[in-house]
A and B are shown apart, each in its own frame.
Chain A
Amino acid sequence: MRPFTYERATDAAAAVKSAAETPNAKFLAGGTNLLDLMKLEIEHPNHLIDVGRLPLAKIEDTAEGGLRIGAMASNSHVAADPRVRARYPVLTQAIVAGGSPQLRNKASVGGNLLQRTRCAYFYDTSKPCNKRAPGSGCGALEGLNRNSAIFGASHACIATHPSDMAVALVALDAEVEVLSPAGQARSFPLMELHRLPGETPDVETHLIPGELITAVVLPPPPKGGQVYRKVRDRASYSAGLASVAIAGGRMALGAVAHKPWRAAEAEAALASGASPAEAIGAELAAASANGRNGFKINLISRLVPAAVAEAREPGRGA
């Protein structure tokens, strides 16, 4: 870990102002990912702006019948909120499928969205990684890439986004609210938050530098069943091999791309009466294997129909 300076932000406006004024500054919330990455010399910010105590932890009903979840709400609080459990069960299921209880108690909603990949080559500073050290190459491309992306990967990066929560939020058609360094608030669909790797896998979101996520807004729950299914090597506390979130007619896949993967082709096929197997087949037409991760294509082709069937069971809706 390199030396760094630290400040605790008193309000969101001051936090974004400080971020704009300080080169190589990072926001710190729960610290469950950033501090690890700093200890491992993967991230080396000069300055940390602690936003963890900003008054952004509320979960409120919106006038439209949805929920506004403050960016600093802990993952545990969101998962346990009675309104979330009743109206957005896919979100609770996804959150509790991630990390461990200790991590979920510390981790914030904003931080969960911005957590970085679990790709082993990203974590190993002796290896090339375009995400960690732009221009150094991708160690995973020709490597032991069992858990890499099958959608939207580039020759520069085949890492996946590790969040479970974000997959459910994409399926729920959530929006994010952000505050810019100039103090301007804006909001946009959460599925537009993360980028595909392209040539610049180190740039992971469409946030402008210094922009702070302040809330996630859920529209009213969709009609139809909700379910989150995550396949992993062990029963708890491990990254997914593949996951799927279903919320009514919407579907998103996890652990398959550089971002939570909205399965638009599958949704369209299902909407036009295709069987779940046909629908996911349509989605997987765009998938490509990168060496050792080809099993994910088979896995998803089997997992999704099972999840769709589960979502259609009585009592799965909001």
Chain B
Amino acid sequence: MTSVIDWETTPNPVKENRAGIIGKAVDRYEGPLKVTGTAPYAYEVEPPSPPAYGVMLSAPIAKGRITGVDTAAAEASPGVLLVWTYRNAPAQGPRPARYDFFTPSPRPALESDQVYFFGQQVAVVVADTLENATAAAALVNLTFEDGAKAVIFHDHYDEAVDPPGEKDVEIGDFEQAFAAAPVKVDDVWRTPLQNHCQMEPCATTAWWEGDHLTVHTSVQMVRFAQNSLAETLMLPHKNVRLLTRYVGGGFGGKGSFYEDLVLASLAARELGRPVKVALSRQQMMHGTVHRPATEQHVRLGATPDGVLTAMSLMTITHCDRRGNFTEHASNFARNLYAAPNRLTGHRLVRLDLPVASAMRAPGEASGTLSLEVAMDELAEKLGMDPVELRIKNEPPTDPETGKPFSIRQLVRCMKEGAQLFGWDRRLPTPGQVRDGRWLVGLGMAAAIRGNFLLPAKASFTVDADGVITVKQGMTDIGTGTYTVLAQIAAETLGVPLGDVRVEIGDSELPPAPGSGGQFGAATAGSAALDAGMNLRKAIAELAVGDAASPLSGGDPAQVTFQDGVIAIANRSERLSDLIRRNRPDGLTADGEVRPAADAGQWSSHTYGAHYVEVAVDPVTGEVRTRRMLGVFAAGRILNYKTARSQLTGGMIWGVGSALTEGNVVDARYGSLINQDLAGYLVPVQADIGEVEAIMLDEVDDKANPMGIKGVGELGISGAGAAVANAIYNAVGVRVRDYPITPDKLLAALMAAGR
């Protein structure tokens, strides 16, 4: 088994970075295709013959059953090829009792007359054109029996249970310590149900050749989706080839897949022609997954000089009736601050709402919105600077497990951020800074997000032109996977970036777990590095064993790779010459990564500090973000440009979480009332003033062979709390029910006599 010690002590080209390609802010590998509109996303892929088009219908009730099906008019509509409901949909693999996030299993579509949530897909119409399918879909007549439903989260707290297999975690005696603490914060925060709002909706193009299916779809996890689809269709895994070359945003929402994939596949088989199916924006809101709402109770106890003696974050959250997903909003609190007495845990309510699942930084994104504001409240009560309070409670080792940190530079993030941002200009008393009609405030919060490594494989091939091709069943969901894999390959094999090709997003390629949990770059990249190392070895051995090579007879361990040239001291030749002579069809090496057996001995996270300046109109309750700075420590950075984009993207999402984003549930229908991008407001350009992300020089040698970590979820963690704290500094009132919209802030201002 691999040990962390091997990672720490073994040199490799990524660590050495001789050509300086690692970390370089190079442009996106696939950028030109995307900005010219020529990167074919799943729905745009041209199938081998003219496709048919499917349009799905969604249930207009939250719970109940389909009592009547009349498809005659739709079937008679021009161009219609098939209409399916539960009554005539093909047989599919059986749904498991509960889904598990990582285990592939069948996901049958149109499986029964039962409706489990509003927006569940209940029919599909396939026609020769999208227009004909859309027109016919309006003619499908389904009737429903509307059952009693539980959809309003806070009405069902009494039904909350421990999440499966989980218990509260208590260290010391929290209640006693909290009761005895001279300074306390004891407040409740609410976060709403949120949606991913990816630019690209879920979509599939499917076709069959004999009993082999090819699907282009938009998912984050290639192998998971391919295996699950094959099991749904009751086919051997090898009969399904799943491709997902370009993904227009995932954020956790495409960790699984939806009826577009299943029904396009089934309809293509039935009709003997390719079929395309996509979800509408409204179907994306209801018919995929969402981040569930939370209620979080934070209690902090401290000594008058600011030492935390008691800390608790208890979260109630919800999932769907058949689900198991828990928004672990309390988990990060177990690793953030020192306090001898600690209590954290979760309660789960099952509701008749759409499916709850992961959304960018599940846990941290919601949880930091309470605890990191509570710390601000505590700092004020103590008369301390919020940064000083956090530094005072910086733990020497993991505060719950006592494990050493692999590396932790949270304090440095906070200090450097404070200096760069001008934190010393913050006036501790709220409401002191006016700019025209605006009151201006500064706020900060800490950021933390876990670090993960999963098993993965990759292969590298060098061809007779000296071009390296990276192959991996990995995805790029807008994160920069293509680009960082190319950088790793170029640095490892000593070739220019322009001599690297990257092939990902295909189930026929060596498997990688995909994109999620900010484990993508570390996992896929480490496997790629291993494949690159193995290819170096194979090339070196080929060269020293080739009588025609200037390197003939040398020590393979002495071979160097630079600028497309292999050399031992001053004996050299072009890599392409060696391969052309010996392996005109190319030379391939495989690689893999597995988690280290002893990785669990360290507490390994990514960290950061957010600083935000907001302006608040105290007359109207409007909030506008003016400046944001994030300083992050996330291991070695592979590409400062793509990493910065991920971090600032997360920070901007934090503004949305604080100020605008949230789906509201109408109790009468069990549906989300804001179901498009005019009603569900994500930040737009005008909402974000200056935004900058700084990455500290860091290497986490215990994280993986490259010493890198993820940044995809770190940026959002804590960002919204910094906005909330800045609002308080501007106007002196707090709203603990997110998002902080003008109506809520106005009510708080008026309640405070302003």
Contact = CB atoms under 8 A, between A and B. Distances in A.
A237 interface: yes
Interface string B690-712: 00000000000000000000000
B569 interface: no
Contacts of A120: 673-675, 679
B234 interface: no
Interface string A220-260: 00000000000111111111010000000000000000000
Interface of A: 1-3, 41, 118, 120-121, 123-124, 126-127, 139, 142-144, 146, 231-239, 241, 295, 298-299, 302-303, 306
Contact of B746 (A1, A118, A127, A298): A298
A133 B683 CA distance: 33
A143 B686 contact: no
A144 B622 contact: no
Given A124-B671, A143-B666, A146-B743, A233 B437 contact: no
B709 to A, nearest CB: 32
Given A236-B684, A306-B437, 15 more contacts: A1-B131, A120-B674, A123-B675, A124-B282, A146-B743, A233-B742, A234-B659, A234-B681, A235-B624, A237-B686, A238-B678, A238-B681, A295-B747, A298-B746, A302-B619
B671 A126 contact: yes
B135 A143 contact: no
Interface in B133-162: 134-135, 138
Contacts of A299: 620-621, 742-743, 746
Contact of A144 (B282, B621, B664, B684): B664
Nearest to B132: A3
A163 B683 CA distance: 22
Report the interface size class on chain B: 35 or more
A237 B624 CA distance: 14
A40 B138 CA distance: 10
Contacts of A144: 664, 666, 673
B660 interface: yes
B668 interface: yes
A144 B621 CA distance: 20
A231 B742 contact: yes
B750 A298 contact: yes
B88 to A, nearest CB: 24
Closest 6 CB pairs of A and B: A236-B686, A126-B60, A235-B686, A295-B743, A231-B620, A144-B673
A306 B620 CA distance: 10
B669 interface: yes
Q: A1, A126, A143, A299: which has the most chain B beta carbons within 10 Å?
A: A126
Given A299-B742, A302-B619, A236 B135 contact: no
A239 B660 contact: no
Given A233-B742, A234-B683, A118 B678 contact: yes
Contacts of B671: 124, 126-127
Contacts of A2: 135, 138
Contact of B135 (A1, A295, A298): A1
A233 B619 contact: no
A233 B741 contact: yes
B660 A234 contact: yes
Contact of B742 (A121, A241, A306): A241
A127 B687 contact: no
A256 B476 CA distance: 45
22 contacts: A2-B138, A118-B678, A118-B679, A120-B674, A123-B676, A124-B282, A124-B671, A127-B669, A139-B666, A142-B668, A143-B668, A143-B673, A144-B666, A146-B743, A233-B659, A234-B660, A234-B683, A234-B687, A235-B686, A295-B746, A299-B621, A306-B620
Contacts of A142: 668
A123 B686 CA distance: 26
Contacts of B686: 234-237
Nearest to A121: B673
Contacts of A295: 742-743, 746-747
B49 interface: no
A293 to B, nearest CB: 9
A295 B735 CA distance: 15
Given A144-B673, A236-B685, A236-B687, A41 B138 contact: yes
Question: Which of B620, B671, B681, B684 has the most chain A CB atoms inside 10 A of its CB?
Answer: B620
Contacts of B437: 306
Contacts of B621: 231, 299
